[in-house]
Amino acid sequence: METQTFNWKSNLHRYQQQSALKFPSEQKLDAFIDGLWDNPALRDMPRAHVGDNTVIVPAEAVESLRKLCCFEFVDSPVVPAESAPLR
């Protein structure tokens, strides 16, 4: 893994854009989480585990995560509740 530094904000809610990373299995998600803890540049990245093998992260982190971690995941934007259409 290459060395990269980030200035993470203290809380995920401080990021205007967030992405959901969906992993194909619990094992892949666990490997990703282990990788975050093993990488000092990513260890403090704010994130939320929301179930269904999915983690919410700052959107600006997605490309770096792809390059640094080489993990298999599908990313999609997170829509804030106040922006979701009412049915």
pLDDT at 79: 85
CA–CA distance, 70 with 51 (Å, rounded to integer) = 21
pTM: 0.84
Q: Is the pLDDT of residue 75 over 90?
A: yes
**pLDDT per residue over 9-53, tens digit each?**
999 999 999 999 999 999 999 999 998 898 888 899 999 999 999
Give which of 29, 16, 24 is closest to 79, Cα–Cα: 16
Taking every pair of C-alpha atoms in the chain, what is the biggest distance, in angstroms?
46
In the chain, where the domains are located: 22-79
Confidence tier at 55 by pLDDT (50, 70, 90):
very high
Q: Which two tokens stand for residue 87?
A: 């049915």
- Between CA 46 and CA 64, with CA 53 as vertex, the angle to 5 degrees is 45
